[in-house]
Structure 1
Amino acid sequence: MHSDLNPEAPEFYPHLASVTKGGYSTMNKTIKSSNQLPAGASHEMFKTFTSFNIVKCKLSENVVTQSNQIVAKELPTVKLKINDLEYNTEKIIDVNDSMLDRVNINIDTESGVNKPNQLMVARNVSSWNNGPIIAKIQMGSTTFIGAKNIPRPQLSFKDAVDNSESLWVPKISDKPNSIKSLALSIIYSEDGEAIGYEHPYRVELDLYHPPAEFIDPDPSPPKFPPSLEETKYTYVETEEQLDALVKHLEGVKEMAVDVEHHSYRTYQGITCLIQITTTEGGDFIIDVIALREHIHKLNLIFTNPKKLKVFHGAESDVVWLQRDFGVYIVGLFDTHQAARTLKMSALALKNLLLKYCNVNTDKRYQLADWRIRPLPDELVEYARMDTHYLLYIWRMMKADLLATAGGNPRLLLAVFEQARQICGTTYNKKVVHEDSHMPLYVRSKKSFNTQQMAALKMLYKWRDAQARLLDESTTYLLPNHMMLALSETLPREVQGVHACCNPMPPFIKQNLITVHRMILSCRELPVEPQLYQMPSSIRTMASAQQHLAAAYNVHDLAHMPEFTDDHRTNFDVTEYLNSEPPMQPEVKAFKTTYKTYCGIVSDLNVDAKLFIPPYDRYRKYRSLAQMEEMKEFKDKEAKIAALGKGDELIKAEVLAKLQQAKAKIEDDGKIAIKEATEIVIIDDEDTKAKRKRKISIDKTERNVTKSDIKKGNKKSAGKNNPEPFMYKNANYRKFYSENNTEKTRPKMKFKKHK
C-alpha cells in the first residue's frame, strides 16, 4: 500500500486512498451527528414522544443491519440484536479483538519481530540490579521499550519495609541547619490517640522568610539555558559521586529538583530517581535505589534556608523524600502554585515549557517503570527535561508575579507561603477502616444490595492485607474494576471468577479458590433491598448536569482546540470556544443544549420565575421538615412541663378542698344536732320515739363519716403525698338545700303485710 512512510510500496488496491478518505469523512460526520442526539435526562424526556420513538427504532434497525453486514466479514456466526445494548457491546468487543489479533499476527509475520538483529539487549546494570532484560524494538517511526525479570529493589534494602498500620517513625537521625535541636514529638488527637510525629523542622519553617535576593526584581532578564546536547550531564550512582554533588551544591544559591517514583510493584511506593539542575554544574540524575542509605546527606543542602529549591508540583515529592530517606526541605518555590496564582489556563509543566521556553515535550513516559537499570536514553532525556528549564521558568514567573501586582511582592510572597505550607506536610501510613471501601463504591456509581456490599468490603480488606504482606500494590494484586465486577456479579462457579477477571492477574490465579469461597460466603447472607443507593431523582439530575457540562464533546473533538497535557496548547483560539459549534444537527428537535433543557417548564410551575432542581427542593423541604419537628418537640416539652406543674396545683387544691369539707361537715353536724334536740322537746309523746330513733341514726352516720375522715387525715399526715380522695364516703349535703330536698324527694310506698 502506498504511504508517506514507504513511498516505494506498490498500490495493491487502486481506490484505497479515496475509499479511506471517504469512509473517514462519513464516519466523522456520523459521530458529529450522533453527538447532537439527546442523552441522559433529555433522552428520558424525548422518549415520551411517539414520533421520537419511531425515528429511534428505525435508526436502530438500520445500524444493527449495517453492523451485521460488517461483522459477518470477520465472524459470520455473530449476529447483533435490536434493543440489546449489553449483548451487542460484548459481541462488538469480540469482533474488534479478533480483527486486532489478526492484524498483529500479520504485522509480526511480515516485520520479523523475533529476528535477533532487531533486538538490542542491554545487560550492563547497577550493583543492586542483577539481570533484567531490556529490549527496544523499532517499528517504523515508533520505538517500543520493554523490560522483564526486573528484580524488586526493596529486597536489597538494608532497612526493612514496614507495611503495617503502626505509627510511621521519621528516619531522620541528624538535623543540619537547625534552630531547635532534633526531638521527635508524638502528636495526639483529642481522644488521646497517637496520630503521627511532629515535623522535625517545624520551628525552622515557622521562622522562614525568603531572602531579599529572591524577592527583589532581577537587574537583568534571565539567560535562556542551552539545549540538552550542550549541557553537562552527570549520572550519580556511587557514594563518592554523591559527596561531590553535595560539595558542588554548597556553592550554588538555587537549584531545580524533581523526583521520579514507582508505586505499581510495592505497597507504599519507591523513590527511584532524583534530578537536580544547577546553572553552574548542569544536569544531575541520582540513582537513589543504589544510594538509598546515603541520600540523607542531601539534608545539608535541602534544609538550608539560604538556598532556593525550585519544584513543580511538590506535594508528593516532599512526602516521598521524607518516607524513603528522611530528607526535608526548607526554602521552596513551587512553579505549579505560581501558575495557579497567575491564573493560567493550564498548570502542567508541559504548558509552562511551551509558554516560557517554546519547548514541546513528550510526557508519554510519565508512568514508565523507573526501576529499569540502566535507564534507556528516552527515559534519561525525559528525566532531564523535568529540571533543565525549571530555573529559567522560575525567574520568568517571578517577573510575572511582580508585574501582575504592580511591583508589589505580595503575590510572590503568597507563592512562597504556599510552598512553605507544602514543606510542612508529613508522611503518614495508609490505615484501612470499616468504611474504606466506600469511596471506591461511590466512584463506581453502582447500586449494591447487602450481599454485594459485603463481598466488596471483604475483598477490599483481604486485598489490602495481602498487599501489605507481599509488599505489592493493591491494583497489581486485584484491579479495582475486577473487584467491583466480582462484587456485583457474585459468580456461583469458578468459571464466573475467570469471566470477571480477564485477563486474570497472577495473584488471583494463585488464590482462585479463596476468592471463590469468599464470594460464596457472601451469597449466603440475607438479601435486603438495595441499600447505599442514591435517590433516583438526584441521580437523574446529576447525570443531566454532567451531560450539560460536556456538551459537544462526547466522542469526537477534532473540530475543537486541544487544552490537555498531551497536546500542544493554542493560546490564540480562546474566542473560538465561545462561539457556536460549526456543525449543527439536521434535525433541530434532537439538539440538546442548556437553554433548551432549562426552558422546559411543566404545568405545575408555569408561573415560576426560576427553575429549582428537584434536589434543591428536596434540601429545602428537608430543612423545613426539620424545623417543624423541632417546633413540635419543643411544644411537647412545654406541655409535659405544664402537666408537671398542673399535678402539683391539683394536689394542693385537693388538700384545701378536703380541709374545707372537714370544717363544713363539723359545723353542719353541730347545727343538725341542735335542731334535732329542739324538735324532740317540742314534739308530743307519740312522735318522740320516732324522732329520737331518726336522730340517733343520723348521728351514727355522721360519727362514722368523721372517724373515716380523721383516719384519712392521720394517714396523709404521715406521708408526703396524700392518698386519693374517698368520694364514696364524702357528704354532699352541703351542696343541697334541705327544703328543696324534701320537695323533690319521692314518696315511699310501703306494702302492707298481712
Structure 2
Amino acid sequence: MTSENPDLHFLAQPRDGLPDITHENIAEAIDALRHGTGPFAVDTERAMGIRYSNRAYLVQVKRAGAGIFLIDPVGIEDQLSDLASVMDDEWILHAADQDLPSLRELGLEPERVFDTELAGLILGFDRVSLQAMIADELGFGLAKEHSDADWSQRPLGPELRAYAALDVDLLLELRQSLIEKLHEAHRWEWFVQECNEVQYRLPNPPHPQPWRKAVKYAKLPDQRALGMLRELWITRDELAKHRDLAPGKVLPNKLLANLAARKPRSLADVKNSSLFRSRSRRRDVEIWWDAINRAWSLPQAQLPERRFQYARDPFPPVQRWEKLDPQAAQRWSKLRQAVLDHAEMLGIRQEVVLKPRIQKQLAWEGWNSADQLRERLTQFGARPWQIEQVSLALSSKRATR
C-alpha cells in the first residue's frame, strides 16, 4: 500500500523475487529467454550526467516463461550475437527513443516496437510516466527513487537491482491492457504508425558549434573570448572522453564561460582565479591555460564570429512572421487553432496530433489544395493518421467559418 494512494499495491521488488546480475553466465540467460514465449519487455540503465558516453550499463529483459534478467553488457559485447538472434521479436519499451540507441550499440535490434508511453499519449492519458501508467492501469505502485543513480558502479546493490527489474516486471501486463484500450478507441493503427516512426527514426544531426551552448552563462566581450570558449570546450570534451566522465563533471559550462570571459593572460592568472578553489579543479589548471594560450595565438580570421545563426527549422521564428510574411502568419493562426480544437475534441495533446515544428513548417510554406496539403505533411514527416486528422481539422474549421 502507499500513503499517496491506499488502493495501490506497492512493489519494492519484482513479484517473482530479486534477480542477480547476469554477466559471465550470459549463455544461461540466452537459453532461458529462447525457451520463453511472446514479446520481450526491455529497458536500459545508463549513466548520463555521470559518464561520457550514453552506453547501456545494464539491460533489463523479461519474457513470459523465462523471468527477468539484469544483463551487465560491459566487457561481454562480443558475446551478445546469440542474444540478438533470440530477441529478434517484438519489444515492449517505455519511451523507446531513450533506449533504442544504446541497445543498437550492443547489436540488439527489435523486429517491432510496442512503446507504452506512445500508447498513453495516443489514448490521451493525463500522466504517461511508467510509474503513473502502471498505477492507473494495473493498480501497482513502484519503488522509483534511484533514477539518478550511477549505473556504471559495481557491484549494484539490491535496491538498484530492484529498481531496474521493476522497470520491466509489469510491461507484459501493461501491454495487454493498452492493446484492449487502443482497439476500443479505434486508434490501434495510429499507435502502430507511431511505433514504426520511433523504431526507424534517424538521429538528429550534431550541432555545428556546440560550444555556443555555454555563451549564455557569461558576457563574452569579443571574438577572442569566444575563441577561448571554443578551445576550452574542445579541450574539456577530449579530457571528459579520456576520463569517461560527463563533460560537466570535468568543468561545468558556467565556469567554462566565465573563464573565457576573463581572458587570462598567463598561467598565473588562471591559477589565481577564484574559479579554481577546489583541489580537484586546480589539477587541470595547466590544461585550461594551454587551451586559452592557443586561442591567444589564433589569427583574427580564425576566430569565431560574434553572431551565429543556426536553426534546424527551415523557417524563421514565428514572432517575425507578421513582418516577413503576413499570409504565413495568418495561416499559422488558423492552423494552430484548428489543431488545438481538434486535439481537444480527440482528448489528446496537440503535439500528438501534429508536432509544433511541422505545424509551423506547413504554415510557413502554405498549400493550395487538399492534395498539396497531404503531400507537404508527408514530406515534413507526419504519419498517415496525423495527415487524416489535420485534414479533418482544417475542413471542420472552414465549415464553421
Q: Compute the TM-score of the two structures, normalised by the length of structure 1.
A: 0.36
Which of the numbers 153, 157, 160 marks the counterpart of 1:376? 157
Q: Structure 1 residue 338 and structure 2 residue 119: aligned?
A: yes
Q: CA RMSD in A?
A: 3.6
1:484 to 1:392, Cα distance in 2 relative to 1, 3 A: same
Distance 1:340 1:489 in 2: 48
Which residue number in structure 2 is paired with residue 283 of structure 1? 68
Distance 1:341 1:315 in 2: 16
1:234 to 1:241, Cα distance in 2 relative to 1, 3 A: farther
1:293 to 1:453, Cα distance in 2 relative to 1, 3 A: same
Equivalent runs, 1:464-543 vs 2, <5 Å: 464-491=237-264, 493-494=268-269, 498-503=273-278, 506=280, 508-519=281-292, 522=295, 531-532=306-307
Is the contact made by 1:273 and 1:370 (CA closer than 8 Å) also made in structure 2? yes
AA in 2 matched with 1:437: W
Which of the numbers 179, 188, 193 marks the counterpart of 1:398? 179
Q: 1:386 offset after TM fit, Å? A: 0.6
1:364 to 1:481, Cα distance in 2 relative to 1, 3 A: farther
Distance 2:175 2:139 in 1: 15
Q: 1:399 offset after TM fit, Å? A: 1.8
What do residues 150-204 of structure 1 show as CA deviations (whole Å, max 9, x unaligned)?
xxxxxxxxxxxxxxxxxxxxxxxxxxxxxxxxxxxxxxxxxxxxxxxxxxxxxxx
Which residue number in structure 2 is paired with residue 254 of structure 1? 39
Is the contact made by 2:218 and 2:254 (CA closer than 8 Å) also made in structure 1? no
Q: Which has the larger radius of gyration?
A: 1
1:455 to 1:362, Cα distance in 2 relative to 1, 3 A: farther
AA in 2 matched with 1:330: E
Which residue number in structure 1 is paired with residue 131 of structure 2? 350
Q: 1:419 offset after TM fit, Å? A: 2.0
Which of the numbers 405, 416, 436 marks the counterpart of 2:210? 436
Distance 1:288 1:232 in 2: 22
Identity of aligned residues (%): 18
1:278 to 1:497, Cα distance in 2 relative to 1, 3 A: farther
Aligned to 1:437, the other structure's residue is in SS state helix
Distance 1:226 1:487 in 2: 50
AA in 1 matched with 2:168: T
Is the contact made by 2:134 and 2:140 (CA closer than 8 Å) also made in structure 1? yes
Is the contact made by 1:322 and 1:427 (CA closer than 8 Å) also made in structure 2? no
Q: 1:298 offset after TM fit, Å? A: 1.6
Q: 1:470 offset after TM fit, Å? A: 4.5
Equivalent runs, 1:553-632 vs 2, <5 Å: 616=319, 620-621=322-323
What do residues 317-343 of structure 1 show as CA deviations (whole Å, max 9, x unaligned)?
1111121x2111112100111112122
Q: 1:447 offset after TM fit, Å? A: 5.9
Aligned length: 304
Which of the numbers 316, 333, 344 marks the counterpart of 2:98? 316
Distance 1:332 1:437 in 2: 35
Is the contact made by 1:303 and 1:328 (CA closer than 8 Å) also made in structure 2? yes
Can you give the 5+ residue segments of structure 2 that lack an aligned partner in the other structure? 1-8, 310-317, 327-401
Is the contact made by 1:256 and 1:311 (CA closer than 8 Å) also made in structure 2? yes
Aligned to 1:360, the other structure's residue is in SS state strand
Q: Structure 1 residue 455 and structure 2 residue 222: aligned?
A: no
Is the contact made by 2:112 and 2:196 (CA closer than 8 Å) also made in structure 1? yes
Which of the numbers 180, 195, 202 marks the counterpart of 1:419? 195
AA in 2 matched with 1:423: Q
Q: Compute the TM-score of the two structures, normalised by the length of structure 2.
A: 0.64
Q: 1:287 offset after TM fit, Å? A: 2.1
1:303 to 1:488, Cα distance in 2 relative to 1, 3 A: same
What do residues 534-564 of structure 1 show as CA deviations (whole Å, max 9, x unaligned)?
9xxxxxxxxxxxxxxxxxxxxxxxxxxxxxx
Aligned to 2:239, the other structure's residue is in SS state helix
Distance 2:215 2:243 in 1: 25
Determine which structure has greater relative contact order: mean sequence separation of CA pairs < 8 Å that are 6+ residues apart, divided by chain length: 2
1:297 to 1:426, Cα distance in 2 relative to 1, 3 A: farther
